[in-house]
Amino acid sequence: MKQGRGAMKEQFCLRSIPGDLWQWIADAAHERRENINSLIISLLESARRNDGGSQGLYSDRPVIRPAASFTLPFSFIDLFAGIGGFRLGLQRLGGSCVYSCERDSYCAKTYAAWFGDSPIGDINDVNPADIPDHDILAAGFPCQPFSIAGVSKKRSLGQADGFDCQKQGNLFFKICDIVKVRRPPVLILENVKNLKSHDKRRTWPVIEGTLQELGYAVFHKIIDAADYVPQHRERIFIVCFDREMFGDAPPFQFPDKPLGDKPVFRSILEKNPSEKYTLTDHLWNYLQRYAEKHRAKGNGFGYGIADPCGVSRTLSARYYKDGSEILIAQGTKKNPRRLTIVEAARLMGFRDVVTSREDVPVSDTQAYKQFGNSVVPDVVEAVGRSVLQVMSSHLEKQGSVSLLKRKGDGKPSRKVTARS
Ligand SMILES: C[S@@+](CC[C@H](N)C(=O)[O-])C[C@H]1O[C@@H](n2cnc3c(N)ncnc32)[C@H](O)[C@@H]1O
């Protein structure tokens, strides 16, 4: 093998490398967008620098790239990207993200650390014509104007909620503006379960009707992430197919529940959590008094101690305040504790991204907010897999017809064909 770096002039040759090791080298080169020769040299240089120490061969954290092994190559855009729950789920299926948008700078910091690119900022400043062609538009649009907690907070402050909320409610229509111009074949949207009952059930028909008027067949389902992670987290998933491409009745079905035992809460716990997550006496006494007051009034609001053999309550974006919805018992002699950041990440399904606290480059407060707002990548992956089945069978039926088309000319703008 000829090497291409200036320092060494001789040729070198690698023989008899076991297949799995060779595959690892090839994958690492692909991941780092390097050629194999220069990767091997940099690995050897790095190993020499670390003196074979335990830090691993390269210290810069590789960003998370699409898995290579799914049947259909596809591209997607990630709107209201947060920390990339959609991106992670769709990348696990081999999808390639061509555009992302997120206004919050702390989320953007985490996103950049994990995926290697920074999202565009405020969606209101985006010209849809500048967004590249894509097969799937993914968006978990802001849910506060529709969530139970968000609605009661906004109403108590005398603020508008739902579509009347100028800042956030109307962002759904910003998605529609993009759809009108870019005509993605598929949309996958996610929001809080309450979207269906919001404003005496008047909000949902507007959303569904608008998507239908745009020419899409609309499917929706409330899915509880508890089948994938040990957390009760019900969210509405809205999947839309362009009727012009897939017909009026695309054969889409939401995924069945996964087979086997459900994950249990104790599986996400760290062995030696820092003491800083144990509640102070002050906070613990307050939470107990608060719960008692509400019990006396006959309503069940209060803290929740998670059952190690069951699932926790929903992690909210307000978890950083007191952590009361998900507490972990620590025996009779110690106050309960909150989730650590690694546990919060695992509870949301980010287990392959976050293996230590250092993997989350923001404060605990921001990290809890980010995980509490995020979508569970495992659910996205399952829904995405069902979407890909429809896309693949469409491509098979059409032979080599591309999935993407340009608005107006009806002609393909890029060829996407099914692999075997
Ligand atoms: C419900 S969260 C989506 C989280 C995301 N699905 C994830 O997995 O992390 C909504 C996101 O929209 C972002 N957002 C709100 N208004 C925005 C705007 N005008 N432009 C871009 N992003 C916005 C928020 O900062 C928030 O991160």
Q: Domain spans of the chain?
A: 1-60, 75-261+376-414, 265-373
Long-range (24+ apart) CB contacts under 8 A made by 193-201 are: 193/222, 193/234, 193/235, 193/236, 194/146, 194/147, 194/148, 194/151, 195/143, 195/146, 195/236, 196/220, 196/222, 196/236, 198/146, 198/151, 198/161, 198/162, 199/161, 199/162
For residues 147-168, give the mean pLDDT: 56
Cα 248 from Cα 253, distance rounded (Å):
14
Structure tokens at 328: 């972990």
78 beta partners: 100, 138
Cβ pair 316, 353 in contact under 8 A: no
For residues 80-85, give the mean pLDDT: 98
Residue identified by tokens 């404003």 is: 199
Structure tokens at 98: 């061509």
Is pTM, for the whole model, over 0.75? yes
Please tell me which residue, 15 or 348, carries the higher pLDDT value.
Answer: 348
pLDDT digit string, tens, across residues 290-300: 998 887 777 66
The arrangement of strands across the sheet holding 234-242 comes to 96-101, 75-79, 136-139, 186-192, 234-242, 216-224
pLDDT at position 53 is 40
Question: Percent of the chain at pLDDT above 70?
Answer: 73
C-alpha of residue 316 to centroid of ligand 1, in Å: 14
pLDDT at position 185 is 96
Decide if pLDDT at 220 tops 70: yes
- Angle, helices 171-182 vs 203-213, to 10°: value is 10
293 Cβ contact partners less than 8 Å away, ≥ 6 residues apart: none
C-beta atoms surrounding 34 within 10 Å: 14
Domain 265-373 CATH assignment equals 3.40.50.300: no
Cα 2 from Cα 40, distance rounded (Å):
12
- Give the binding-site residues of ligand 1, using a 6 Å CB cut-off: 80-86, 101-104, 107, 122-124, 140, 142-143, 168, 171, 373-375
pLDDT at position 3 is 41
pLDDT at position 4 is 41
Topology of the domain comprising 75-261+376-414: Rossmann fold (3.40.50)
142 CA: nearest ligand 1 atom: 10
Decide if pLDDT at 140 tops 90: yes
C-beta atoms surrounding 408 within 10 Å: 8
pLDDT digit string, tens, across residues 7-21: 444 455 566 666 666
Q: In the annotation, is 13 catalytic? A: no
Q: Nearest residue CA, atom 10 of ligand 1?
A: 142
Decide if pLDDT at 337 tops 60: yes
